[in-house]
Amino acid sequence: MNIGDKVYLKAVGNMARGRKELLIKESEITRIGRKYFEVQLGTKPIKFNIESCKQENVGYSADWKLYFSIQEIIDEQEFEKLERDIKSKFDSFGKLDMTLDQLRRINKIINE
C-alpha cells in the first residue's frame, strides 16, 4: 500500500439504501499512518484501518467499503447473486422445482 495507489469505494449501509444501482467511486490513498490510511472522496478524507481495511470513525455503520480492484467488487456481486439464487431454491416450503438429475448433481457437488 502506497500513497497514490488507486482504490475503489462501494457505498454500503445508509449510503447504499434506496439505490437501485451500485454506487462505486474511484479514489486514491492520500495519507498512510501507523494504524490508519486515508482516501480522499470529494473534499473530505475517509479513514480506514490498515489491517482490516474497514472504515473508521463512523457511527452505527460504515458508508463505504474499500476494494483494491474493480474485479473484487464484480466477484463479490456475483458471489452474492449465486448465493441468493441457491438459497432461494432450498429455503422454501413445499416441493422443490427441480428434477431428480439436478438434485443428484447438486448432492454430488456438495458432498465432494
pTM, whole model, 2 decimals? 0.73
Average pLDDT of the residues in 22-43: 90
Confidence at 1, pLDDT banded by 50, 70, 90: confident
Q: Which residues pair with 10 in a beta bridge?
A: 24, 65
DSSP H helices, 5-99, are 70-90
Please write the tens of the pLDDT for every residue from 59-81. 777 788 999 999 999 999 899 88
Please write the tens of the pLDDT for every residue from 34-55. 999 999 888 888 899 998 888 8
φ, ψ of residue 39 to 5 degrees: the values are -125, 135
